[in-house]
Structure 1
């Protein structure tokens, strides 16, 4: 998807080479390091502003986020922290943080800053190839984990991203496609982790994923493969723990005829079995005429008894796309579209005891 959009943008840029123009090149302006973020409220369905529901998602609010900072954009993952604080991570290794004030549609105490280190020297050209795709935090220790594409690796950072603590380039990830790396991560009990590839095909179906028996940023951790089958035609872009037994899975698709769409689904953690192929059950589809873009970031919070789902988009640093943030309430019960996948391969009788009851840390 990212490659396709860049090619479209490149084709549009050819106009300036094919049409004779006269211009005078002036001095290159210094990079804009503005720390200001602007939030503009958006509606869920411009054709029907009163619409608030899709599947099991009830729309509570949405914002278009903009900044003059040259490094802003490309949001691929995010964390929803206590006190309405958000931390977003860009493809280029840039952190975007702010507190969301919904009453005034303001980003309070915003900051935009690069990661302290990554899988290349921290200069402008190298950082464009970092392609940070996934982000986790341990609320107990304050440590963070980041998954990278291109130079497939998992890095751990100290609290507040003060420094890099460890980095690992797992051998099993090095054959993944350049743009098919660690698209999503999930933490499990006992210090285990799940790491999902976006597009590395799994021999038994779906796409490759790994169960790490320890910290994936450390070389001593052993990785065992399994497969994940997204909804047909879609690619996984992020995942977040829903409760001790299940996770939300975010997927996106782009076609020239239908444009961009996204599917949110629920997966049961017990289905993530070594050497097996897991699936999930769709609970909502976001597509035109609903407001939608390249949805890549997912987070879950609680408000009283309500489960809140946050989804953000990656604009690919493309002026034709937008950085969006949505807030939904997850509705209880099943919808008409929430039917078991016929390809579902979870066989209770054959489940491995060691993977029968995952819990979050």
Structure 2
């Protein structure tokens, strides 16, 4: 009898039987995005500095739309409008109201096209990891993993304009593709692999003299060396000479952490290995998750750094969104601000003495 029951159960799992299927529930297409304020350190809410980053605000970002999450890159557009890209090919946009902790005019929508047609396995097929925008033309570029390629989209992501699968990216690890992408002031593009080894050290990166989504565009190779034990997840220009770089690490012993560093554009040369200088470390007890997205803006003379995390669509992780001010100084010693008194960095967990640029 037990064997018969097992066979009948297997039959109902494997054989399509229409009369046992109920109505398919409607898809949740909610466009609502909620911002919940967070502090940098819940153990000490007065702590506001990590390395050369001064904490100005932070939020836990949520939505009941199941397509929301997995933030891998983002753009900071004028008037505090943010465009985030999930690694499942979903765009998330909103205007930040810092005073009221609100996401104004939010939207959640899929990319119009990608390496594979949308289906129930879109998260695996549309592993979109990097995002660029040209404000002069309104065009966007997206870098994909798995099917390593660079795609260009028209203004407002209305349509796909071009796609390129460079030969130089074909042998990159499946999960180690175009993790970061920047456009230099002279019009060239840099595309960074997360984990494709470079023969001279570090990991591979590519220099495109023209549009990387153009199928005729062929890049030249160089290397980038992240801080030891870390992998690059995003990069953004500070000015016409320097670039801010975001790195993450996870170990069973230490958990998750992130390092923000500064690199010099002059070091990104064909055949060379570029290195950046760490300026801040985020690790427990500081609020941190799988930090993957980075953007840079200006407020007057101040450089503002925005970070966001990829929750991997996991109930055990969070989509965090941080705002920092980049502190000035040639040699910065991390300081923890506690109740109006500065303490040396090293004295508190989560802080370290760091050399800046």
TM-score (norm 1): 0.86
Deviation at 1:26, TM superposition (A): 6.7
Deviation at 1:142, TM superposition (A): 0.7
| Distance in 1 separating the partners of 2:135 and 2:306 | 18
Of residues 138, 148, 152, the one that matches 2:148 is 152
What residue number does 1:310 align with?
Answer: 306
Deviation at 1:122, TM superposition (A): 2.0
Of residues 121, 124, 133, the one that matches 1:125 is 121
Deviation at 1:124, TM superposition (A): 2.6
Of residues 296, 317, 324, the one that matches 1:321 is 317
Check if 1:173 corresponds to 2:189: no
Deviation at 1:184, TM superposition (A): 0.2
What residue number does 2:355 align with?
Answer: 339
| Distance in 2 separating the partners of 1:27 and 1:317 | 26
Deviation at 1:30, TM superposition (A): 2.9
Check if 1:271 corresponds to 2:267: yes
Contact 2:72 2:87 in 1 (8 A): yes
| Distance in 2 separating the partners of 1:228 and 1:209 | 7
| Distance in 2 separating the partners of 1:302 and 1:64 | 23
| Distance in 1 separating the partners of 2:263 and 2:55 | 22
What residue number does 2:245 align with?
Answer: 249
| Distance in 2 separating the partners of 1:105 and 1:189 | 34
- Partner SS state of residue 317, structure 2: coil
Bigger mean CA offset, 126-135 vs 276-285: 126-135
Deviation at 1:213, TM superposition (A): 1.0
- Partner SS state of residue 125, structure 2: coil
Of the two, which has the highest radius of gyration? 2
Deviation at 1:167, TM superposition (A): 0.3
Contact 1:120 1:127 in 2 (8 A): no
Q: Deviations over 1:233-268 (max 9, x none)?
A: 000000000111000000000011110000000000
Deviation at 1:128, TM superposition (A): 3.2
- Partner SS state of residue 312, structure 1: strand
| Distance in 2 separating the partners of 1:130 and 1:37 | 22
Contact 2:89 2:122 in 1 (8 A): no
What residue number does 1:204 align with?
Answer: 200
Contact 2:221 2:271 in 1 (8 A): yes
Of residues 75, 82, 87, the one that matches 1:86 is 82
Give the number of aligned pairs.
318
Deviation at 1:112, TM superposition (A): 0.2
What residue number does 1:347 align with?
Answer: none
Of residues 189, 193, 206, the one that matches 1:193 is 189
After TM superposition, what 4+ stretches of structure 1 lie above 6 angstroms from structure 2? none
Deviation at 1:127, TM superposition (A): 4.7
| Distance in 2 separating the partners of 1:244 and 1:259 | 35
Contact 1:99 1:110 in 2 (8 A): yes
| Distance in 2 separating the partners of 1:296 and 1:316 | 11
What residue number does 1:284 align with?
Answer: 280
Bigger mean CA offset, 184-193 vs 280-289: 184-193
Deviation at 1:28, TM superposition (A): 5.1
What residue number does 1:240 align with?
Answer: 236
Bigger mean CA offset, 30-39 vs 324-333: 30-39
Deviation at 1:304, TM superposition (A): 1.0
What residue number does 1:62 align with?
Answer: 58
What residue number does 1:293 align with?
Answer: 289
TM-score (norm 2): 0.87
Q: Which runs of 5+ in 2 are unaligned?
A: 1-19, 334-352
